[in-house]
Structure 1
Amino acid sequence: MAEFIKLYDENPSEREIKRIVEVLKNDGVIIYPTDTVYGLGCDITSNRALERVAQLRGVKLAKANFSFICEDLSNLSDYVRQIDTPTFKLLKRALPGPYTFILPGNNNLPTVFKKKKTVGIRVPDNNIARAIVSHLGNPIISTSIYDEDDVIEYTTDPELILEKWDKLVDVVIDGGYGGNIPSTVIDLTSGEAVVLREGKGELTI
């Protein structure tokens, strides 16, 4: 049975954030709000939890395209190869915001992602997600939670999310109604910005 924790984006309770971080440190899997859709995630350093997330999404972990949720751009160099000034300026202008940037990964990627040459970086404009990452001390991975209903592609009501995921995850965070438009995905690996998926946010490139 998942814990259902209510948090407010303006001022998330530090006590509850610490509880969530403890769950993550113990190979837990959580569902949490972002500035777009609700995400399914875990600590990027926990192989056991990463396997669980991949299983829940029905994908092989080595081939999964999970994003890294970061607090800000300060730990970018931990996972990303050196980027040029125009690219950094674009990231600084866009983040925090509803974008996933595909960047060239470096050798510090967690073991399970070593074969991947790229990494998707997200810094959501959501205090809950960023507070979790801040207290954890490293990124969490993220993948959207889909709905089987073709009309409602993403579930937005936390109580309905709990109903569906109650026995599959450890914590469901109620951060209010989520959106149903995913992040815009922008590939920056070739030196030019290429939009791979139009989503929320209008960034002038």
Structure 2
Amino acid sequence: MAKYFDVHPDNPQPRTISTVADSIRNGALVAYPTDSCYALGTRMGSRDGISRIRAIRDLDDRHHFTLMCRDFAQLGQLVHIDNDVFRAVKAATPGPYTFILPGTKEVPRQLLHPKKKTVGVRIPDHVATQALLAELGEPLLSSTLLLPDEEEPLTQGWEIKERLDHQVDAVLDSGDCGTEPTTVVDFSSGEPEIVRRGAGDTTRFE
């Protein structure tokens, strides 16, 4: 049964955030809010967490996972990024964008695209998510909480608790989330390719 944690949207309680971060360090799979929609998160090196996300979302091996980063210092350790791409990414973050870039050796092999050796990274503009990332002290492996055969992600913490009570370990709730996932931009070739149009404005990459 999933534990349920309710935090203030603008001033999340540090003790609660610390409890959730501790559970992630211990291998928990958590549903949590972001600046786009709810996501599933687990520790970057957790094979069990990855398998559980794949099972919940019915994902194949070609799916790009996202590494949720606190800041550019963290992001820069995970992906290779040249100056031009850096400027484009920095201008759009923090915000509801996921960027696909070549991964570094810091990224576990099972998270990289099997052929391209790329991974998704992003820096969220969300108070509770940033508090969790700061407390965790490491990137959070994430995937949009979009269930198979459903067109939109779940938007409310209590509903996620009801639907996924025996599939996740915890739900962090800071109020309603949106229904649009992030805009995904692939920079692996050096030029922007819009893979998915979502919550982030795409005109800057067109």
The alignment status of 1:186 with 2:192, answered yes or no, reads no
Q: Shift of residue 147 of structure 1? A: 4.3
Of 97, 100, 112, 1:99 maps to 97
* Aligned equivalents of 2:147, 2:152: Cα separation in 1: 5
* Aligned equivalents of 2:71, 2:127: Cα separation in 1: 11
Query: What's the counterpart of residue 154 of structure 2?
Result: 155
Mean Cα deviation higher: 129-138 or 24-33: 129-138
Question: Where in structure 1 do 4 or more consecutive aligned residues deviate above 6 Å?
Answer: none
Give the aligned residue type for 1:165: L
The alignment status of 1:128 with 2:128, answered yes or no, reads yes
The alignment status of 1:53 with 2:56, answered yes or no, reads no
The TM-score with structure 2 as length reference comes to 0.91
**Number of residue-to-residue matches in the alignment:** 202
* Aligned equivalents of 1:121, 1:156: Cα separation in 2: 22
Query: What's the counterpart of residue 168 of structure 2?
Result: 169
Q: Shift of residue 148 of structure 1? A: 5.5
Of 85, 97, 101, 2:83 maps to 85
The TM-score with structure 1 as length reference comes to 0.91
- Please list every run of 5 or more consecutive structure 2 residues that lacks an aligned counterpart in the other structure: none
Percentage of identical aligned residues: 36
- Please list every run of 5 or more consecutive structure 1 residues that lacks an aligned counterpart in the other structure: none
* Aligned equivalents of 2:43, 2:149: Cα separation in 1: 29
* Aligned equivalents of 1:17, 1:145: Cα separation in 2: 20
Provide closer, same or farther for how the CA distance between residues 147 and 108 of structure 1 changes in structure 2, counting only shifts above 3 A.
closer
Give the aligned residue type for 2:86: F
Provide closer, same or farther for how the CA distance between residues 143 and 170 of structure 1 changes in structure 2, counting only shifts above 3 A.
same
* Aligned equivalents of 2:200, 2:42: Cα separation in 1: 25
Query: What's the counterpart of residue 9 of structure 1?
Result: 9
Query: What's the counterpart of residue 75 of structure 1?
Result: 74
Q: Shift of residue 21 of structure 1? A: 0.9
* Aligned equivalents of 2:198, 2:15: Cα separation in 1: 33
Query: What's the counterpart of residue 112 of structure 1?
Result: 110
* Aligned equivalents of 2:153, 2:79: Cα separation in 1: 29
Report the secondary structure of 1:161's partner residue.
helix
Query: What's the counterpart of residue 20 of structure 2?
Result: 20
- TM-superposition CA deviations, 1:80-129 (whole Å, max 9, x none): 12x22221111111111000011111222114235461110111111211
